Structures are given as C-alpha cells and as structure tokens.
Amino acid sequence: MTTQLVLASVSEMLQLQHWFSSAEQQQSWGGDNFDYLCTGLRFLQLLCRPGAQSFSLLDSDNNTMLGFGQICDRFGCHHLARLVIHPQQRGKGLAKALISELSIQALSQQYRDISLYVHRHNSIALQCYTSLGFEICPPPEAENPRLHFMMLQADKAIVSVNRYLQQQS
C-alpha cells in the first residue's frame, strides 16, 4: 500500500467523527472538551484550533483516508496532536508511517524537536512512539496524571525519518 500525506480537506475531517464509537474514545483522542455526537460544524470548530495544521494520510491507490494528525507550535517544538488511524486499518504499521510523514513535514518547515502527548494506558501507541525514538520526558506544563509527555530530538527524528524513507524505496 502506497501512502501520501496531504493537507486534510473538510470532508476528510468530517469523516473522523465516524471513527469513534464512544465519548471516551473521542475525548481520549481529541481532548476532554471534545463534544461527542455533535454537529459537523461543532466538530470542525473543536478540531480546527488556531495554529494547527491538519493532515490526512491517504491510500494513494484509491484516495481513501487511512489516518489523521495535526502539527502545531507548542513548547518550542513541533507538537503532534490528534493522531489517529482508521479503526479498520490499525495493526498495519500505518501509525509509524503517519508519524514519519508528519515528522518530514514538520522538519521541512523548521529543524527542531518534536513532541506529543499520549495516554498512559495506550500501550500500543507508547510502544509505537518509543520505537520511533520518542522518550518520556517531564511535561513542560502542569502534569496531567493520565498523560505522558514525549519528545523526539531533531537529530533522532532525522535518523528515524531516513530509516522510514529507506524502507519505502
């Protein structure tokens, strides 16, 4: 499967609403203030935060959305947020592709560290991020006991991205 990262369209962002089957799932992904079963307009308002760039990971063969993520400027880093893979596409290594493609996008804008938050109970995501070189660090703001703050140093991000690109060729 060939993938490509593109700026997310409104229709792709609206598809995300159907990827969550409970308020808990959606709030774990989008934040505690993310209304579950809201209108499409409200969903877009909550999703499209100022300063965040939204991206879709597409299957290049049939143009279907496989994943989604955002890049924003937080803590002096490229901060990755609202990362998700389509429920029927999980377990295929697409999260690594999404993170790698987002890292390429971020580093092409500016060379600096990459950060993200992950729920402590999300062992699959923790393992994925760790395998890409992210490390759990003290959070730069008041600690949320449900979350780990993770960082990937820019130098390590380059190594990780190069490894990913070699695997793609």
Find out whether 131 and 99 touch, Cβ atoms under 8 Å: no
Q: Please give the radius of gyration of the chain, using alpha carbons only, rounded to the nearest integer.
A: 15
Give yes or no for residue 70 having a pLDDT over 90: yes
Share of the chain above pLDDT 90, in %: 91
Give yes or no for residue 94 having a pLDDT over 90: yes
Cα separation, 132 vs 74, in Å, equals 20
- Who's near 45: CB < 8 A, 6+ residues apart? none
Confidence (pLDDT) at 57: 98
Give yes or no for residue 34 having a pLDDT over 90: no
What is the average per-residue pLDDT within 57-83? 96
Give yes or no for residue 32 having a pLDDT over 90: no
Structural domain total, the chain: 1
What is the average per-residue pLDDT within 109-113? 96
Cα separation, 78 vs 125, in Å, equals 18
**35-49 pLDDT, tens per residue?**
888 899 999 999 998
Q: Are strands 64-74 and 77-85 parallel, antiparallel or unpaired?
A: antiparallel
Confidence (pLDDT) at 56: 98
- Considering the entire predicted model, what is its pTM? 0.95
- The token duo for 122 is 């999300």
Cα separation, 107 vs 152, in Å, equals 12
Cα separation, 162 vs 159, in Å, equals 5
- The token duo for 156 is 């390590």
DSSP class of residue 52 equals: P
Cα separation, 167 vs 160, in Å, equals 11
Find out whether 96 and 39 touch, Cβ atoms under 8 Å: no
Confidence (pLDDT) at 109: 94
Give yes or no for residue 31 having a pLDDT over 90: no
- Residue 41's domain is classified under what CATH number? 3.40.630.30
**48-62 pLDDT, tens per residue?**
989 999 999 999 999
Element (H, E) at 94: helix 94-109
Least confident of 28-32, 76-80, 96-100: 28-32
- The token duo for 117 is 């938050």
Domain range spanning residue 118? 3-168
